[in-house]
Chain A
Amino acid sequence: MRGQRPSAEPIRLTRRRIYILPTGQGYAFATLLFLLFLWSINYSNSMGFAFTFLLAAVALNSMWQAHDNLLGLIVDSSGAEPVFAGQEARFAFRVENPDPRPRYGIALQWRDQPPRHTDLPASGAAVVTLTVLAERRGWLRTGRVRVLTRYPLGLLQAWSWVEFERACLVYPQPRGRRPLPAALSGGAGAGLGDQGFGSEDYAGFRLYAPGDSPRRIAWKAATRGGPLLVKQFTDQVRPELWLDWRLLGIDSVEPRLAQLCQWVLKAEGEGRRYGLLLPGARIAPGRGDAHRRRCLEALALFTYAEDVSHRHETAVEPEGPTKTRAAAG
């Protein structure tokens, strides 16, 4: 069956994919019509019959209209920007109307969230964004998304399911109170993680990213209404940092990843060169957005081959299910 598998390509809503059922309003309307019908019998009111039948026929016709409103639409997913666990992933869907007539009241709905509506001009397209809460790190997929319409009368809902392969990468939630680890090599005794100290050289601005130290935000620029900017410093003197999994030996997997994630952000925010050491993965020290993304991706997709003692350990963890799942995957 097409449409049951996640699709890598745009999906065209064909006749076979479209379902239609009355809404609550539709049932209320049917009840109203039935009452009007009884009323017409009771008063032997000929025009009462005529109007009741007319409204019934219009409601029936709206079924075709709702069906037509979806038929032929082309839906595509353009994925979502990576987010941190706990944030909302914004999945963008492009809905295209190939017909030379406009379509109104098209909506996309994820699970039981309120549907997001849009109108499509003739031979036009629109982008609908669905926000999905990223509960845990890793790949986040929306699963089935409902494309629906209640247009024109709201009495019937026509809908179709679409599911895409595109996923959103969810980084671990940056959390933890530990300071940055001490530098392993060289340097002038600095690198104790105390932010704001040292004789860094101002090197310019970059866009704010979660995890940046608030002290480095260019508040003056922000008050002028621009985007949130962060002051960047170069520090040639400071040594390379190794953000090492083993430094957090006492914690279980997820808190460790959370702490590593926070370190990555912090180190990047301080403009330092840092490398990441994970069991089975080593990312050489570096700096900049691409490097940061590499590190975060490694953290997001990290799977840990646990031994028995670890599994025992995880059983008492509050986030146990998450981890068992991560381990199983």
Chain B
Amino acid sequence: MRLPWSRRDRPRRAPPPVEPLTASALTWLLAALALAVAPQATELSVWLSVLFAALVGWRGFIVFRNRALPPRWLLLLVATLAGAGVMIDHRTLFGRDAGVALLTAMTACKLLESRGLRDGVVLVFLGYLLVMSNLLYSQDIPLVTYLLAVILVMLTAQVLIHRQHAGLTALAPLRLTGRMVLLAIPVMLILFVLFPRIPGPLWGLPKDAYKGRTGLSEQMAPGSVSELIRSDAVAFRVRFADAVPPSNQRYWRGPVLWHFDGRRWTRPEEPPVKTPIPFTPEGAAVDYAVVLEPSNRNWLFALDLPARLPPRAGMTPSFQLLRDQPVNEVYRYEMRSYPAYRTAEPTAMERSRGLQLPPRANPRARALVAEWRQRDPQPEALVRSALTLFREQPFYYTLNPPELGGEIVDDFLFRTRRGFCEHYASAFVFLMRAGGVPARVVLGYQGGEMNALGGYLMVRQSDAHAWAEVWLEGRGWVRVDPTGAVAPNRVQQGLYAALSDSRLLPFLARHGGDSEWLRQLALGWDILNNSWNEWVLAYGPERQKEFLSGLGFGPADWTGMTVAMLIALGGFGVLYAGWRWRSRLARDPVARAWQRFCARLARRGLARGAAEGPLDFAGRVAAGRPELAAGVWEIARLYAALRYGPVAPPEQVRQLRQLTRRFRA
């Protein structure tokens, strides 16, 4: 017979059993993951969104119906197919979109093999990555608030994973994580403000990292600007130090286009220099700060003509500001411009570039210019003739111009005569060059809308504009806006005033009407967004230095920031510890009773020293006030026993409370 204790019968030590995921932990985890992926549901391919939802649903079904997990081969099959699907969709597994898609697919597959605590933890970590991946697409206030809530749910799931044996409510961990997040926020703020920031990127970003951002392109063809007009996204916001210049002086200079191939204008390679290009100001300076939205372009916008350089930026000879890195975060910079100016002589190369034209193109336009020159060969006269042409002939300013074919300048000038700013700028520069006047196209934004409540100017994508510059003897490069000749309202009051068919405009670019109140509401919301951009999203290495130096502790450097950060964290830690001490005291009847006792003695001039133990204190009191000795000794002994003894029996606690309540000094 084999006895139960015989050696052979003893079970071999098994590997530690898998601690299973409880149903409540899995439910919270599934909810958190679904919430984390939800904002991207539209960005992801349809099949992937469906797959994710299906696998989350399947896992939920398995939990609630207590079914078995799918076999391993099925899981491998699904994972392989999903990986292949991502590969087919994106032609790569790297890069932003493919990376996020792959992360989503693999998280979904991991769900189906998650049974133990460790799997749950892996899923939570993947969940944090998924939450963060949303920030690649947007960082606006609603999304960030939403993601904060998702983090809360994810943390709760993480807590539930580790509370394997609880039969209590699921709300307790939610309350706990809520409190933890609330306590974490001050620490986060300290780190956010003071952690020394390093300018990125550290390594190459995937090509599609910032795909899908709207903004000016570096070339101009018929229709390229009017495409942009349909977006009412804010391009940048400006806060002026003093008076706001009038609308017709608010030309926000962007890429300068020199080269014309008969259809499109392009920007030549112009190496930026690290000092502002000199010119002669004629009048007062305008100081302002720009908060630029991410554009995935290098260019920074400034009023004509910029006279200083933001950090890590340069200026081309044609006064265009270029940042070293593309602007992929909200970027704030301070600028100074001179609205009235005189520039120097163009170099030989600028002159030849400023006269470049495709040979023999647009003969009718050339003939027209030749005719004007015979009348008056002065460059000023040519400018006047061209503007007169636009003003007096039946030219129309419209968002919906007819298609141009063949020789586009001729076709526009003599046939369609309907166009948007790029048509007028293009035709005007062509005419000037044909007449021997150096000219160039400037892309940028014009005007912008004041947010009166917020005291700043909003420049939207719908304010995109193209204008011309001609070189005139003695004055240098002079801005000429041919659109202004056709539609003076465009320049003075903005796009809405200039267009008759305003229904084509995006909602926020329209004025008046029934929905004006809604527009006002939107302006209020924009104020919030502006502060968010200016103070939070634009808080990078430069803004950090600027902000911290502005606090009056001298110039902020790496070490100073680290020291300040550690001091602030330590200070917060001390505050928190103090608060915990107080609240524990409030909960602890023994400590409270002792405090009451000490307070009574203190009122009689017998204050306990900070480092004085209960028995030392009692000895001192007994020596000074022999009539109290018995009571004091009893309380002190009981307190010492309760405080420093192993366990506090409730009846002794009650006794201490009664003694201290009755004690009279």
Q: A55–B161 Cα gap in the complex (Å)? A: 17
B349 at the interface (CB under 8 A from A): no
Picked from B132, B159, B538, B646, the residue with its CB within 8 Å of the CB of A152 is B159
CA distance A65 to B158 in the complex (A): 14
Question: B191-214: contact bitstring with A at CB < 8 Å (1 yes, 0 no)?
Answer: 110010111111101000100000
Query: Which stretch of A35-43, A241-249, A278-286, A300-308 is in the interface?
Result: A35-43
Residues facing B in A9-29 (CB within 8 A) are 9-12, 25, 28-29
| Any A CB within 8 A of the CB of B5 | yes
A102 to B, closest residue via Cβ: B168
State the CA gap A117–B7 with chains docked (Å).
Answer: 29
Q: Are B172 and A102 within 8 A (Cβ)?
A: yes
Other-chain residue from A51, A62, A173 in contact with B180 (beta carbon distance below 8 A): A62
A255 near B: Cβ within 8 Å? no
Whether B162 is near chain A, meaning CB under 8 Å from some CB there, is yes
**Complex partner residue of A53 from B6, B159, B188, CB under 8 angstroms:** B188
Taking the closest CB of chain A, its distance from the CB of B404, in whole angstroms, is: 40
Q: Which residues of B contact A151 (CB under 8 A)?
A: 159, 162-163
Residues of B within 8 A of A105 (CB): 162-166
The reply on B360 being an interface residue by CB < 8 A is no
The answer to whether A47 and B159 touch across the interface, beta carbons within 8 angstroms, is: no
Q: Looking at the complex, which one of A39, A62, A100, A133 makes contact with B587 (CB distance below 8 Å)?
A: A100
- Count the A residues whose beta carbon is within 8 Å of the partner chain — how many? 63
When the two chains form their complex, are residues A117 and B165 in contact, meaning their CB atoms are under 8 A apart? yes
B507 CB–A CB distance under 8 Å: no
Q: Are A42 and B17 in contact, with the CB atoms below 8 A? A: no
In the assembly, what is the distance between CA of A280 and CA of B1, in Å? 34
In the complex, A210 Cα to B4 Cα: how many Å?
A: 9
Give the interface centre of B7, B128, B199, B538 by most chain A CB atoms within 10 Å.
B128
User: Which residue from chain A places its CB closest to the CB of B326 in the assembled complex?
Assistant: A44
Decide: B191 and A58 in contact? CB cutoff 8 A.
Answer: no
Chain A residues within 8 Å of B202, by CB:
38, 41-42
Chain A residues with CB under 8 A of B172: 102, 104
Q: Does A91 sit within 8 A of B, measured CB to CB?
A: no
- With A51-B151, A60-B187, A173-B5 known to touch, is A154 a contact of B158 (CB < 8 Å)? yes
Query: Taking the nearest CB of chain B, how far is it from the CB of A174, in angstroms?
Result: 8
Which residues, 127 to 146 on B, are CB-close (under 8 Å) to A?
Answer: 128-129, 131-132, 135-136, 139, 144
- B421-460 to A contact mask, C-beta < 8 Å, 1/0: 0000000000000000000000000000000000000000
User: A96: which B residues are within 8 A, CB to CB?
Assistant: 647
Let me know if B540 and A152 touch, CB within 8 A. Answer: no
Q: Is A322 an interface residue, CB under 8 A from the partner?
A: no
A residues near B197, Cβ cutoff 8 Å: 41, 49
Q: Looking at A39, A96, A133, which has the most chain B CB atoms within 10 Å of its CB?
A: A39
Query: Would you give the 0/1 interface string for A129-163, flagging 1 where the beta carbon is closer than 8 Å to chain B?
Result: 00001000000000000000011111000000000
Interface of chain A residues 50 through 85 with chain B (CB within 8 A): 50-58, 60-62, 64-65, 68, 74, 84-85
In the complex, the answer to whether A51 meets B132 with C-beta atoms within 8 Å is yes
B136-A87 in contact (CB<8A):
no
CB-defined contacts of B537 to chain A, threshold 8 Å: 46-47
Please give the distance in Å from B311's CB to the nearest CB on chain A: 14
Q: How far is the CA of A15 from the CA of B218 in the complex (A)?
A: 65
Q: Does A320 contact B (CB under 8 A)?
A: no
Q: Does B121 contact A (CB under 8 A)?
A: yes
Count contacts between A and B, CB distance < 8 Å. Answer: 181
B166→A86 contact, CB < 8 A: no
Would A46 and B163 count as touching, CB distance under 8 A? no
B171 at the interface (CB under 8 A from A): no
Contact present for A10 and B647 (CB under 8 Å): yes
B536: Cβ under 8 A from any A Cβ = yes
A192 to chain B, nearest CB (A): 20
CB atoms of B187 and A57 under 8 A apart:
yes
Assembled-state Cα–Cα distance A153/B72 (Å): 29
| Total number of B residues with any Cβ neighbor in A under 8 Å | 71
Q: For the complex, give the distance between the alpha carbons of A12 and B536 in Å.
A: 47
A68 to B4, CA, bound (A): 43
Specify which chain B residues have a CB less than 8 angstroms from the CB of A152 in the assembled complex.
Answer: 158-159, 162-163, 173, 176-177, 180
Q: Are A42 and B192 neighbours in the complex by a CB distance under 8 Å?
A: no
CA distance in complex: A174, B139 (Å): 73
Q: Please tell me which one of the listed residues B125, B180, B538, B540 contacts residue A29 in the complex, with CB atoms under 8 A apart.
A: B125
Known interface pairs A32-B125, A43-B209, A51-B131; A117-B164 also in contact (CB < 8 Å): yes
Q: Mark B106-142, 1 if CB is under 8 A from A, else 0.
A: 0000000000010001000100110110011001000
Q: Which residues of A contact B181 (CB under 8 A)?
A: 54, 58
Q: How far is the CA of A273 from the CA of B537 in the complex (A)?
A: 90
Residues of A within 8 A of B121 (CB): 25, 28, 154
Contact, CB under 8 Å: B139 / A57: no
Asked if B200 contacts A28 (CB within 8 A), the reply is: no
CB distance from B223 to the nearest CB of A (A): 32
A51 engages B158 (CB within 8 Å) = no
Q: Is the CB of A53 within 8 A of B195?
A: yes
* Structural contact, B205 and A43, CB atoms closer than 8 A: yes
Which residue on chain A has the smallest CB distance to residue B96? A43
Do residues B200 and A119 form an inter-chain contact, with CB atoms below 8 A? no
Contact with B along A203-221 (1 / 0, CB 8 A): 0000000100010000000
In the complex, which residues of chain A have a beta carbon less than 8 angstroms from the beta carbon of B648?
98
Closest to B152 in A: A58
Q: How far is the CA of A43 from the CA of B132 in the complex (A)?
A: 12
Q: Is the CB of B647 within 8 A of A12?
A: yes
Structural contact, B646 and A9, CB atoms closer than 8 A: yes
A residues within 8 A CB of B3?
A: 174, 210
A61 and B573 alpha carbons, distance in the complex (Å): 10
**A53 & B131 in contact (Cβ 8 Å cutoff):** no
Contact A154–B161 (Cβ < 8 Å)? yes
Which of B135, B158, B173 makes the CB contact (< 8 A) with A48? B135
Contact B147 A43 (CB under 8 A): no
Q: Which residues of A contact B173 (CB under 8 A)?
A: 152
Q: Which of B6, B161, B184, B199 contacts A57 (CB 8 A)?
A: B184
Q: Contact: A42 with B187, CB < 8 Å? A: no
**Residue pair B176, A118 in contact (C-beta under 8 Å):** no
Q: Which residues of A contact B5 (CB under 8 A)?
A: 84-87, 173-174, 210
Shortest Cβ distance from residue B35 to the other chain A in the assembled complex, whole angstroms: 15
Contacts of A84 in B (CB 8 A): 5
Residues of B within 8 A of A62 (CB): 180
A50 and B328 contact, CB distance less than 8 A: no
Q: Is B229 an interface residue (CB 8 A)?
A: no
Do residues A41 and B200 form an inter-chain contact, with CB atoms below 8 A? yes
From A28, A55, A117, A153, B151 is in contact (CB under 8 Å) with: A55
Please give me the residue from chain B that is nearest to A59 by CB atom: B184
**Chain B positions within 8 Å of A42 at CB level:** 200-203, 205
Q: Name the A residues within 8 Å of B647 (CB-CB).
A: 9-10, 12, 74, 96
Given A49-B192, A151-B159, A152-B159, 18 further pairs, Cβ under 8 A: A41-B197, A43-B136, A43-B201, A43-B209, A50-B536, A51-B132, A52-B132, A57-B187, A58-B155, A61-B183, A86-B5, A86-B6, A151-B163, A152-B162, A152-B163, A153-B162, A154-B162, A174-B5
- 30 sampled A-B residue pairs with Cβ under 8 A: A9-B646, A42-B201, A42-B205, A43-B136, A44-B201, A44-B329, A46-B139, A46-B536, A46-B537, A49-B191, A49-B192, A49-B197, A51-B147, A56-B188, A57-B184, A61-B180, A61-B184, A98-B648, A104-B166, A105-B162, A117-B165, A118-B165, A150-B162, A152-B162, A152-B163, A153-B162, A154-B161, A174-B5, A210-B4, A210-B5
Residues of B within 8 A of A (CB): 1, 3-7, 10, 16-17, 117, 121, 125, 128-129, 131-132, 135-136, 139, 144, 147-148, 151, 155, 158-159, 161-168, 172-173, 176-177, 180-181, 183-185, 187-188, 191-192, 195, 197-203, 205, 209, 328-330, 536-540, 576, 580, 587, 646-648
In the A-B complex, list the 6 residue pairs whose CB atoms are closest, starting with the nearest: A57-B184, A57-B187, A86-B5, A44-B329, A53-B191, A154-B162
